[in-house]
Amino acid sequence: MRVANWRAMEIFGKVQEVARQGGSAFMDDVVVVAKGNCPVGTITREPGGVSIRHLRFTPKRSRGVTIPVKKRKEVAFTVKHWTGRIPGTLQASIRKVLKGSRPDNIRVYAGHFKAPYAHFVEYGTVKMKAQPFMRPTFNTMKGKAKKGVEKVMKQSPGAFK
């Protein structure tokens, strides 16, 4: 049996686009839940605070070569050291990213240049207990992913005509 003129590529393209929209809407929900699970620190200092440090040391090596003891000279300089902390920086860094090269690839990231410590909070360190916030979010939300995409597809039945 042969079905003629049923526009398979057009229909499957629309199904894929609606599913992509549903996945994007679902990942927006994941971002909201992850931000709610993210721990917010209580230690604050003046934002943008800078302390001045005076450093002095005697280098033992220069460009991979050991400097003879008689030729070593003490180096002294002043450094501005940033000391500010802003509570909620890690929480604000949680975001959804759509990959342009692969439109079906939607990701949720935590951390950026102002909060490069997301993985330390998530997995812990030798000196700090782990406070996972991303993995529990994905574990609770992954069962709802299929339902979320199906919900968007049911809301737009006119797209498949």
pLDDT mean for each 10 residues of the chain (161 residues): 64 78 86 90 62 82 88 85 73 89 84 87 93 91 81 70 56
The span from the first CA to the last CA of the chain, in angstroms, equals 23
36 and 110 share one domain: yes
Same domain, 36 and 57: no
pLDDT of 32 reads 92
Residue 94's pLDDT is 93
Q: Are 95 and 23 in contact (CB under 8 A)?
A: no
Domain range spanning residue 120? 8-44+85-160
Q: Considering the domain boundaries, does residue 129 fall inside one?
A: yes
Q: Is residue 2 part of a domain?
A: no
* Prediction pTM value: 0.64
Q: What is the pLDDT of residue 82?
A: 64
> Does 98 lie in the same domain as 39?
yes
Query: What is the structure's pLDDT at 5?
Result: 66
| 1 in any annotated domain | no
Q: Which residues pair with 57 in a beta bridge?
A: 75
pLDDT value for 148: 77
Q: Which residue has the tokens 């001045």?
A: 52
Label the pairing between strands 95-98 and 61-62: unpaired
Task: Please write down the HEC assignment for all residues of 27-51.
Answer: HHHHHHHHHHHCCCCCCCCCCCCEE
How many C-beta atoms lie closer than 10 Å to residue 15's C-beta? 13
